[in-house]
Amino acid sequence: MADFESINLDFLHARAALKWGPWDRDVISLSVADIDFPAPREIKEAVINAVNEDRTPYSAYGGDPDVLDAVCEKLNRVNRIPATPDDVHMIPGTMFAIFLVCYHFLNQGDEALISPAPVYPPFIHNVLNTGAVPVFNPLDFQHGARLDVDDLKARITPRTRMLMVCNPHNPTGRVLTLEELECIARLADEHNLLIFADELYEDMLFEGEHISLASLSKEIYERTITVFGFSKAFGIPGYRIAYITTRSRYKKELKHRIHDMIVHADTLAQAAAKAALTDGKAWLGEFMSHLKRVRDYGLDRLSRTPGVWCREPEATPFLFPNIASFGMTSEEMCEYLREEAGVIVMNGAEFGPPGEGFIRINFATAHSVLKEAMDRMEAAFKRLA
């Protein structure tokens, strides 16, 4: 049985270079989307076995055949996407997919409509780096963070090239409903838009049902590029492994571009991916039970803090509280919590203008660590009040 009641700070400061590495030992990091626990034993054993099998020659461009079979079985059974191995391509992480679609499909002056917003910052950065314009469809936080379909429709222009969707949603933890997804799909069909769907957090679900956009119809699958991954739910971001699936007319073009850029995804990382799919269910169940407990604890603490309001996330390891009542920008609040509480959180404005007034808290850690962080933040908030 995995231990989710403690974390190894010596290891994290030595190896979790983005989340814990930059900070002194008395600082608590609830920032970068890394979990604070070792990967499942089954994944580590699969990588060791792959090393012993000498998986060192070049492999198939799209992915190892046994890995593609496991991915397709999962896509058909869980996501209800009728994928075949020809529709799937293993890639080095979900960020690679964001980069790929932006640089392949966007040109100077094009618009990429991001729904919903705020959103994971690399969406914004990669759109801007192509010379295109990110257009934000903000969640309606006044009405339960629902998708504003009228706003989405109004933001489509002749320059709109692509609809970019994050579901389950980083940073708010929203899980889009079937009705919301059908509205997105209908607008994409009416305006002949490509859909890019980031569904990385599909396994980190507390309530509701995750529905893949590409499962809605044959026609939608043919205009959608979906990326799935393993880094968040199974704690293996260092392996840099994910996969895309599409049956669009661009499939062959994308495959050739991937071949020219990376040849193929790392074979040891693919072994880790297969193990996550085939042997990771028991570990994931234990982890999600722990994650739900710390989510509920963190949400309760924030809800009892004057000046802070936070909706309950249906998925992801994130709380996204609003802190605007303190009269600080999100960046100022992050600096204040770092200096006054010794707690590192994410600046909501980094997720685009609709994230201003919010901070993102990653609660994928031990309960004792989250409690200490919440104690420190609560005291810091009270000093402001």
Q: According to the model, what pLDDT value does residue 2 have?
A: 86
pTM of the entire structure? Answer: 0.96
Q: According to the model, what pLDDT value does residue 217 have?
A: 97
Closest CA to 359 of 286, 312, 316, 309: 309
SS3 readout for 239-297: HCCEEEECCCCCHHHHHHHHHHHHCCCCHHHHHHHHHHHHHCHHHHHHHHHHHHHHHHH
d(CA 163, CA 187): 9
SS3 readout for 162-194: EEEEECCCCCCCCCCCHHHHHHHHHHHHHCCCE
Domain ranges of the chain: 9-40+281-384, 45-278
Beta strand 346-347 with 343-344 is unpaired
pLDDT digits (tens, 9 = 90+) for 342-380: 999 999 999 999 999 999 999 999 999 999 999 999 999
pLDDT digits (tens, 9 = 90+) for 276-331: 999 999 999 999 999 999 999 999 999 999 999 999 999 999 999 999 999 999 99
User: What fold characterizes domain 9-40+281-384?
Assistant: Aspartate Aminotransferase, domain 1 (3.90.1150)
Q: Which CATH class is domain 45-278?
A: alpha beta
Tokens read off for 174 = 């929203």
Q: According to the model, what pLDDT value does residue 29 have?
A: 98
User: At 5, phi and psi to the nearest 5?
Assistant: -95, -10
Tokens read off for 270 = 């693919």
Question: Which ranges of the chain have pLDDT less than 70?
Answer: none
